[in-house]
Amino acid sequence: MIRYIDFLKKAFSGEETDFTKVNIRSAVLLLAIPMMLEMAMESVFALVDLYFVGHLKESGFAIQTVGLTESVLSVMYSIAIGMSMAATALVARRIGEKNPEQASRSAAQVLLVSFAITLILSLLGVIYAEEILILMGSKPEAAAYGKDFTRIMMGSSTIIMLLFLINGIFRGAGNAMIAMKSLWIANIANIILCPVLIKGFGPVPAMGLTGAALATTIGRSIGVIYQLYHLLIADTQIRIKLSYFKPQFSLIKSIVKIATPGIFQFVIASCSWIFLAELVATTGGENASAGYQTALRLMMFFMLPAWGLSNAASTLVGQNMGANEMLRAEQSVMKTVKYNVIFMLIVSLIFIFLGNFLVSFFTQEIEIKNFAKSALFIMSTGFIFYGIGMVMINAFNGAGDTWTPTWVNLFGFWLFQIPLAYFLSKHLEMGPKGVFISIPAAETLITIVAFILFKKGKWKTIKV
C-alpha cells in the first residue's frame, strides 16, 4: 500500500522524469494518471453547464443550445487539438533528443500560428451565432433564446485553443501535472461562478443561460493565466522567451505539415458528430435532440479520461522515437491499450446498469430521459473498441504521422458512419435510434483498421 501511495505522490508531484529510461508500466501510469484527471476536468465544463441550465424554465431550449453549441465548438476543438498534436509531437521528439531549448522554440511557433487561425474563426462565430444554431437544426425561437450563449462561447474560442494547446506542449514535455492543474483551477472557478451568474447572487443579476457561458469563459481564462505563468515565467523544462515568437518559417512549415492533417482528422470527426446531431434533431424533434445531447455529455465525461490515458501513448511514442527506442515506443502503446480497455469496460458496465440514474441527474423530462437512456445503452456497446482505437490514433499522432488517422477517420466517419446513420434513420425509419446504432458500428470499424495499420509500422519512419 505504501508503495502505491508513493507512486501516486510521484505522479502528482510534477517532477521531471526521463520517460525513455523508466519502466514502461511506470512511464504509462505516471503520465496517464494526471492526463486522465486533466481530461476529466475538461468534460466537467459541459456537465456543469448542462446541470444548471437543465433546471431553467426553458430547459428544452437551454439543453439543446448547450449541446448544439458544443457540437459547433468541436470544430474549434479540432483546430486546437490538431495544433496541439503538432506541439506534442515536436516537443516530445526534441525532449527525447535532450534538446529542451529547441522544444521551447517549437512551442512558441505553434502558439503563434494557432492564435492567428483561431482569432478569425472566433469573430465569425460571434457575428453569426443565431444563424449557426438554425443551421444546426434549432428552431428559430430556440435559436433566438440561445444566441447570446453561443456568441459568448464562440467568442472565447481563442481561450479554448490556448487551454488545449499549452496543455499539449506540457504533455509533450512529459509534465502532465501542470496540464492537469490548469483544468482543475478552471473548473473550480466555473463551478463557483455557474450558480452565481445563472441564478444571481446579491448584486449579481440572474443571467440564465448567458451566465453559464460567462462562467465557463471566465473559468477557462483563469486556467490559461496559470498555464502562461508556467510557460513564460516559472522555471520549467519548457521555458518560452519573447524572442522565440519571431516567425521561423522553416519551423512553421514543419508545424503546418504535422498540424494540417491533424486538424482535418478531427474536423472530419467533429463534422460527422454535427451531422449526426442535425439528423437526430430532424428525425426525432426537440426532445430527441436534448436527450441525445445529454447522452453525449455523459459519454464525453467518461471518454475524455480515456482520451487522457491514451495521450500517454502519444508522449511516450514521441520521446522514445527521439531517443531512437522504437521497440520501447511500440511496447508503450500496447501497455496503454491494456489499461484503456480495462477502463472502458468499467465505463460500459456503468452506463448499462446506472444509465437511468445518470440521466435523471440532468433532466426529469420523461421523453428526454428515454432518448438519453437509449443513446447511452446503444453507444456503450462499442466502448471497448473505442478505447483501443483512441490509443492507436494517439500513437500515430505522437509519431508525427497525422495523415494515417486522418484517412482512417475519413473512411470510418464519412464513408461509413454518416451513410449508415442516414440509411437507418431515414430509409428504415428507425429515427434517432438508427443514428445511435451507427456510432458504435463506426468506432469498431475504425479501431480494426487503425490497429492493422499500426502493426504494419510505417509510423516508425516518420521524421519531424
Mean pLDDT, 10 residues at a time, over the chain (464 residues)? 63 68 83 78 71 70 73 75 84 88 89 84 84 78 79 86 87 83 89 88 84 89 93 83 88 86 82 85 85 83 82 89 90 93 92 84 80 89 91 91 92 94 91 92 94 92 83
Q: What is the pTM of this model?
A: 0.76
pLDDT digits (tens, 9 = 90+) for 159-194: 888 888 888 898 888 887 888 888 889 989 988 998
- Whole-number Å distance between alpha carbons of 185 and 225: 10
Closest CA to 11 of 24, 29, 36: 29
Q: What is the pLDDT of residue 442?
A: 94
Q: What is the pLDDT of residue 46?
A: 66
Radius of gyration of the chain from its Cα atoms, rounded to whole angstroms: 21
- Whole-number Å distance between alpha carbons of 211 and 199: 8
- Whole-number Å distance between alpha carbons of 395 and 413: 20
Q: What is the pLDDT of residue 3?
A: 63
Task: At 327, list the grid cell.
Answer: 521497440
Query: Do 137 and 277 form a contact (C-beta atoms < 8 A)?
Result: yes
* Residue 91, phi-psi category: left (phi > 0), alpha (psi -120 to 50), beta (remainder): alpha
Q: Using DSSP, state whether 204 is helix, strand or coil.
A: strand
Q: What is the pLDDT of residue 351?
A: 87
- Whole-number Å distance between alpha carbons of 262 and 249: 19
- Which residue reads 464525453 in cell numbers? 300
Task: At 127, list the grid cell.
Answer: 457575428
Within a 13 Å sphere around the CA of 139, how many CA atoms are in the beta-carbon half? 11
Q: What is the pLDDT of residue 410?
A: 93
Q: What is the pLDDT of residue 10?
A: 63
Cβ neighbours of 456 (radius 10 Å): 9
**Residues in the chain, how many?**
464
Q: Find the Cα–Cα–Cα–Cα dihedral 450, 456, 458, 459, rounded to 10°.
A: 50
Query: Do 93 and 322 form a contact (C-beta atoms < 8 A)?
Result: yes
